[in-house]
Amino acid sequence: MPSTRDLIDQARARAAALSQVATLMADARGSAHALDGTVEVTVDALGALRRLWLAPSVIDADSVGLAGLILEVTQLAMVEATQDCYNKVGLQLGEDVTLLIEQLSGQPAPARSPDDDPGMTVEEFQRLRSERLTRPTRRPADRSSASAEDDAYFDNASPWSG
């Protein structure tokens, strides 16, 4: 059972944690790029442009399409910046303060979105790894001449191949 002093210390720590949120947000950034590599955008936590890079080839692009692409990439960067805010807050101040901010802002962390890419699960990684390791011995007939040449290259290049 925590003592009264513990409770006061806890409440003070929580108030101090909340006061750090603005500082953490000031450092948050999000970046995104167009799939064709012609536009790169970095924004801060409020969405303001911090970096915009355009490939030299954009001068030949359709100006309306380019403007739309910059807006689209900026929106993606904004989602990243929002998640970066929550990551910083979560890392420094803990999950309960992060939840508190999500409640107050009414904006859940993008990573909680059902359509957010969850990345590779441990099970998926292990399954792919085991497939990769067993494939050459299980399916020798599938090896193309190109991969055989690749193997030959590595065999020749290997300092241990003698």
Binding site residues, another protein, CB under 8 A? 2, 7, 10-11, 14-15, 18, 22, 43-44, 46-49, 52-61, 63-64, 66-67, 70-71, 74, 78, 96-97, 99-100, 103-104
Dig out the tokens for 33 from the structure: 């790029």
Contact 55, 38 (CB under 8 A): yes
Which is closer to another protein, CB of 19 or CB of 161?
A: 19
The three-state secondary structure class of 33 is strand
Q: How far is the CB of 46 from another protein (least distance, A)?
A: 3
Which is closer to another protein, CB of 75 or CB of 147?
A: 75
Q: How far is the CB of 12 from another protein (least distance, A)?
A: 11
Which residues fall within 8 angstroms of residue 41, CB to CB, at 6 or more apart?
A: 31, 32, 33, 49, 51, 52, 53, 70, 73, 74, 76, 77
Which is closer to another protein, CB of 68 or CB of 136?
A: 68
